[in-house]
Amino acid sequence: MTRKLIVGALLLASQTGLAQTQDMRKLIDSEFQFAAKQYKVLDKSIPAGLTPQSFNAKTNKLIAFDIKWWCSGFYSGSLWYIFEQTKDAEIKKDAEKALKILEPNQTYTGNHDLGFMMYCSFGNAFRLTGKPEYKAIIQRSAESLSTRYRPEIASIQSWNKNKYFNCPVIIDNMMNLEMLNWASDNGGDKKFKEIAVKHANTTIVNHFRPDFSSYHVVDYDLSTGKVLRKATWQGAANTSAWARGQGWALYGYTMMYRFTKDSKYLDQANGIANFILNHPNLPADKIPYWDFDAPFMPFSKRDASAGALIASALLELSQYVAEKEKNNYKSAAEIMINSLSGEAYKAKLGENGGFILKHSTGALPLDSEIDVPLVYADYYYLEALARYKKWYL
């Protein structure tokens, strides 16, 4: 190839890259403006004291729950992401109003979801405002979460004992470790981070198969510390790879590497990412079916929440790896973002109850939240957009 051709090829590649960057910047800015409008629609229908979860298109009614519901922090967290990008004063006011409702959760010890409930909300609020009262609530919430740590199994118990499980630990629990890590690193008790590390280490040993896919639930015997069984609650089968669960795992170990710089967490995250991205059942638009082993493909339901979650996790993971993996993870996340922002998954303005994304699946085996908007799908989608803008624009 002549020097002239080489220079021409490099110039074309540069121009193509610039055009792609401009397209992504335009898309992301547009998505946040859209989100602000949609969430103003959503705000008008939320009953006092409740937090929004989903929308029933058949009855045209919002579905909202009490603040003890595990998803209660995502609405406020989404508002803070929207405010960060738009500086919309009305959105900020709504975010603060939602925080006030959540404050009693800081002493709640009924489940393991305090990270979802209080860090997605107050964590983003403190990051953007620096208000000491928000930090104090995060620290108190970390203390509450730490009470669920069981030294007999070196893990945080997810749900209370019930007729199905003795001492269940679910892969979702990896997400709640972020609040514990942050609390210790920001003036809190060092035990919080120690608990997070122990839990993450135990989960590597007991939750994962050789191909880096994860079981959903591991049930323990507290008297002996031994594993009783490995099962699922929301997946297609005990041995299947429930899609959102794989996303929780990917995000969780990427986050653990951020806080500890322990290479085993990075290795785990890379292994999970490779399982997801190279799976033969991952569709071309990279928005997973609700389970990687779901029956009746390609007619199975998709899970936009899993796609949004995985996109956000891949963007962070791309910051910690070599150039080849970085480009692979970034490229996959771009495809997911472009898919979710298209007509197939994104609502029209004023529709979908005010939620942004359609076609999420909560718990198909339980006949719960099938092919509906879900508040955490919006949250991780907005986070993915913000992360892409921060790191690549």
Q: Is 244 annotated as a binding residue?
A: yes
Task: Catalytic residue, from 43, 88, 94, 113: name it.
Answer: 113
The yes-or-no answer on residue 211 being catalytic is no
Cα separation, 362 vs 369, whole angstroms? 5
The yes-or-no answer on residue 172 being catalytic is yes
Q: How many residues does the chain have?
A: 393
User: CA–CA distance from 59 to each of 37, 54, 62, 393 (Å)?
Assistant: 22, 12, 9, 41
Q: Is 172 annotated as a binding residue?
A: yes
Task: Catalytic residue, from 172, 293, 303, 378: name it.
Answer: 172
Query: Which residues on neighbouring strands pair with residue 169, listed in sequence order?
Result: 218
User: CA–CA distance from 18 to each of 15, 56, 388 (Å)?
Assistant: 5, 42, 15
Element (H, E) at 328: helix 323-340
Q: Which two tokens stand for residue 330?
A: 């970034």
Cα separation, 342 vs 334, whole angstroms? 12
Phi and psi (nearest 5°) for 64?
-135, 150
Give the residue carrying structure tokens 């058949």.
58
**Which DSSP state fits 70?**
T
Cα separation, 356 vs 31, whole angstroms? 9
Q: Is 113 annotated as a binding residue?
A: yes
CB count within 10 Å of CB 325 equals 15
Give the residue carrying structure tokens 């389970």.
291
Cα separation, 356 vs 139, whole angstroms? 31
Residues 6+ apart with CB under 8 A from 93: none
Q: Report the binding-site residues for substrate.
A: 113, 172, 232, 244, 248
The residues that are catalytic are 113, 172
Binding residues: 113, 172, 232, 244, 248
